A and B are shown apart, each in its own frame.
Chain A
Amino acid sequence: MTEYVGKPMPRYQGLGEVTGTATYVDDVQYPGMLYVKVLRSPVARGTVKGLDFSDTLKVPGVVGVLTADDIPGVNIYGVYGDQLVLNPQDLRYKGEPIAAVVGRDEDAAQAGVEAVKLDVEELTPVFDMFEAMKPDAPIVRPGTTSNLFEYDEQGTTTRIIKLGDVEAGLKEADHIVEGRYIEAIQDHAAMEPQVSVALIDDAGRLTIHTHSQCLNYHLAQLCPVFGLSQSKINYLGGRVGGGYGGKNEINCDHIAGLAALKFCAPVKYRLTRQEDLAYTGKRGAWVFDYKTGVMNDGRIVASHIKEYHDSGAYCGFSPYGTEKCGMFASGPYNIPNILIEANTIFTNRYPSISMRGYSVLNGQVAADVQMSRIAEKLGMDPWELRFINAWRDGDMGASRYVVDGVGALEAMKRAAGMAGIELPDKLLQMSSRSR
């Protein structure tokens, strides 16, 4: 083992990458392969009143269309099982797939999409989380009465993480520092746009060439859509041209698979760069309100954090992301009194999904910008404030876990060194092993 640890090793499969012979999904081709383009919602919120494919079917090169009625299994997928593969009715975000057109090439399929007579009644959308929480806001999820995700059957919408007594802590503090932090959405923009190739193979199975980042997880979502057991699907992955969480979401495999089943032919469904940017999941937006109680000597005694996460029109990964974010939103600091209140809010935006250091980093960025703000207020060196409050072995985190093997101080010392910042001796002498 020790001959490998800490030493650079040539990448597994790396020779394929440097010679251009590595096979990514879009590199896969089959004779007679058909191509898919998707008809997407032109509005952020609306109702489909009419859907007529008669002109589409006349377009030269169009082989046929795929609608919700063609789905052999259930028209549901997603981590929380709330997303429609093809939505024929209540549209919740701009770009939501309504139906697909299959053609001999992409130009024909696209011409077919443009020939669809789609009649949509546009409804007023809501894009802002705080607007969406108002009682008279447009309702994103038809059939519900609020835009807040419910975490249990009792209808709990606010997840609470509590340590000590935050009110008492804030009362005892010498200073109160408040701050609001707004984090915008972010796209993964992997170099490989989303794509899928599906066909019925020689064993009669549905074979799908995928760039999924989580094969078994996606296979479990796809089986009910196709109405097939796992043994009837050959889900071939392993080569991902960059994912960063963006390929934790199914964007093409379900539609390509359905088209292959319906038309009994190899099918490729790939997004252009523009489609990939416009229609695939993003790291969702977050807003945080911090209220921190701090003593004159820099010790933080209380932290009250309100977290708001924009889930978009469906769950995506958001309810889980909100919880995970909350657990770390007080930062790697020893704070005896903490109250975190976290909400997941639906809006008519694209469903939010995972991305690098998913959700944890969102809270930590806010927590540490708040630290800088506190330091400024106290007139204290921000390094010193962080060193005083950083976790030591045996401290307790917000959700009552005792931390152990902590390296915050050591990491900060090293970072300062690399940045050419000289820290005062009293900070250099501190250690994560004791306070």
Chain B
Amino acid sequence: MKSILSFSLNGAPVEVLVKTTDTLLDVLRESLGYTGAKRGCDAGDCGACTVIVDGLAIRACLAIALTMSGKEVVTIEGLGKQGDLHPLQKAFHQHGAHQCGFCTSGMIVSAKTLLDKIPNPSQDEIVEYMSGNICRCGTYVEVAEAIQAVSGGKE
């Protein structure tokens, strides 16, 4: 059984045919070709698939796609692009807050919602908020540095 799902993706309306069992991650990656959100565990454990839905960071691998009807979804591709980077993307790049890069898009998306909520987070608040994003390359120190660098609208 397939139904049509309509939602806003990075500011533009989309319509896509989805199965009832599809997750938002399946739809973004496999149906729409937005592969910035990664499939690290498909079980809600790693944070690599983090996207923003109506302002909140969620795990796209846990969200049933059909529940996204009418919502505003923002992915890493919607934050900025080469030549027009979001300050967090710039800071991650400058601070070397990515090694293999597989966790990076999820990290940046989470960090964006952190700064939306707490514009000037303390080190402890950063660590606490980002604890759901796993990085096996171990970039945690640089991730916190990059977030500090742009906090309070510094960059």
A19 to B81, CA, bound (A): 6
A29 to B108, CA, bound (A): 25
Contact of B36 (CB < 8 Å), options: A10, A21, A240: A21
Asked whether, in the complex, the Cβ of B136 is within 8 Å of the Cβ of A19, the reply is: no
Query: For residue B35, which residues in chain A have a CB less than 8 angstroms away from its CB?
Result: 20, 23-24, 26-27
Asked whether, in the complex, the Cβ of B40 is within 8 Å of the Cβ of A273, the reply is: yes
A11-B96 contact, Cβ under 8 Å, with A20-B35, A20-B75, A191-B46: yes
Query: For residue B104, which residues in chain A have a CB less than 8 angstroms away from its CB?
Result: 17-18
Asked whether, in the complex, the Cβ of A189 is within 8 Å of the Cβ of B136, the reply is: yes
The secondary structure that dominates the B interface is loop
Number of B positions contacting A (CB below 8 A): 44
Range, interface on chain A = 20 to 34
A37 to B48, CA, bound (A): 24
Query: For residue A189, which residues in chain B have a CB less than 8 angstroms away from its CB?
Result: 136
Q: Which of B43, B46, B79, B93 has the most chain A CB atoms inside 10 A of its CB?
A: B93
Query: For residue B134, which residues in chain A have a CB less than 8 angstroms away from its CB?
Result: 191
Asked whether, in the complex, the Cβ of A18 is within 8 Å of the Cβ of B98, the reply is: yes
Asked whether, in the complex, the Cβ of B135 is within 8 Å of the Cβ of A273, the reply is: no
A17 to B40, CA, bound (A): 15
A to B contact number (C-beta, < 8 Å): 107
A14-B39 contact, Cβ under 8 Å, with A20-B75, A20-B77, A189-B136: no
Asked whether, in the complex, the Cβ of B42 is within 8 Å of the Cβ of A241, the reply is: no
Residues 1-60 (chain A) with a chain B CB within 8 angstroms: 8, 10-11, 13-24, 26-27, 29
Q: Which residue of B lies closest to A189 (CB)?
A: B136
A10-B100 contact, Cβ under 8 Å, with A15-B82, A19-B36, A191-B40: no
Smallest beta-carbon distance A51→chain B, Å: 30
Smallest beta-carbon distance A197→chain B, Å: 13
Query: For residue B34, which residues in chain A have a CB less than 8 angstroms away from its CB?
Result: 20
Contact of A272 (CB < 8 Å), options: B42, B82, B90: B42
Q: Which residue of B lies closest to A240 (CB)?
A: B100
A188 to B46, CA, bound (A): 15
Q: Is the CB of B101 closer than 8 A to any CB of chain A? A: yes
Q: Is the CB of B38 closer than 8 A to any CB of chain A? A: yes
A37 to B76, CA, bound (A): 30
Contact of B42 (CB < 8 Å), options: A13, A16, A17, A273: A273
Q: Which residue of A lies closest to B94 (CB)?
A: A10
Q: Is the CB of A336 closer than 8 A to any CB of chain B? A: no
Asked whether, in the complex, the Cβ of A10 is within 8 Å of the Cβ of B81, the reply is: no
Residues 223-272 (chain A) with a chain B CB within 8 angstroms: 240-244, 272
Asked whether, in the complex, the Cβ of A242 is within 8 Å of the Cβ of B39, the reply is: no
Asked whether, in the complex, the Cβ of B102 is within 8 Å of the Cβ of A19, the reply is: no
Smallest beta-carbon distance B39→chain A, Å: 6
Smallest beta-carbon distance A23→chain B, Å: 7
Q: Which of B37, B41, B79, B96 has the most chain A CB atoms inside 10 A of its CB?
A: B41
Q: Is the CB of A114 closer than 8 A to any CB of chain B? A: no
Residues 82-101 (chain B) with a chain A CB within 8 angstroms: 82, 85, 89-90, 92-96, 98-101
Q: Is the CB of B33 closer than 8 A to any CB of chain A? A: yes
Q: Is the CB of A193 closer than 8 A to any CB of chain B? A: yes
Asked whether, in the complex, the Cβ of A192 is within 8 Å of the Cβ of B82, the reply is: no
Asked whether, in the complex, the Cβ of A10 is within 8 Å of the Cβ of B96, the reply is: yes
Q: Is the CB of B110 closer than 8 A to any CB of chain A? A: no
Smallest beta-carbon distance B29→chain A, Å: 8
A22-B101 contact, Cβ under 8 Å, with A10-B96, A14-B93: yes
Smallest beta-carbon distance A116→chain B, Å: 24
Q: Is the CB of A190 closer than 8 A to any CB of chain B? A: yes
Contact of A191 (CB < 8 Å), options: B76, B92, B135: B135
A10 to B89, CA, bound (A): 12
A26 to B137, CA, bound (A): 19
Asked whether, in the complex, the Cβ of B98 is within 8 Å of the Cβ of A192, the reply is: no
Q: Which of A14, A27, A29, A189 has the most chain B CB atoms inside 10 A of its CB?
A: A14
Query: For residue B82, which residues in chain A have a CB less than 8 angstroms away from its CB?
Result: 15-16, 19, 21
Smallest beta-carbon distance B95→chain A, Å: 8
Q: Is the CB of B105 closer than 8 A to any CB of chain A? A: yes
Q: Is the CB of B124 closer than 8 A to any CB of chain A? A: no
Q: Which residue of B lies closest to A244 (CB)?
A: B136
Smallest beta-carbon distance B99→chain A, Å: 8
Asked whether, in the complex, the Cβ of B136 is within 8 Å of the Cβ of A191, the reply is: yes
A241 to B42, CA, bound (A): 16
Q: Is the CB of B57 closer than 8 A to any CB of chain A? A: no
A20-B37 contact, Cβ under 8 Å, with A11-B93, A191-B46, A241-B101: yes
- 0/1 interface trace, chain B 9-20, chain A, CB 8 Å (1 if under): 000000000000
Asked whether, in the complex, the Cβ of A242 is within 8 Å of the Cβ of B77, the reply is: no
A192-B102 contact, Cβ under 8 Å, with A19-B36, A27-B35, A273-B42: yes
Q: Which residue of B lies closest to A26 (CB)?
A: B39
Q: List 28 A-B contacts (CB under 8 A).
A: A8-B95, A11-B99, A13-B101, A14-B93, A16-B82, A17-B98, A18-B101, A20-B35, A20-B37, A20-B77, A24-B35, A24-B102, A26-B29, A26-B39, A27-B29, A29-B30, A190-B102, A191-B40, A191-B136, A191-B137, A192-B38, A192-B40, A192-B102, A193-B40, A241-B101, A242-B99, A273-B42, A273-B43
Residues of A within 8 A of B (CB): 8, 10-11, 13-24, 26-27, 29, 188-193, 240-244, 272-273
Closest 8 CB pairs of A and B: A20-B36, A17-B101, A20-B76, A241-B102, A27-B35, A191-B102, A18-B89, A273-B41
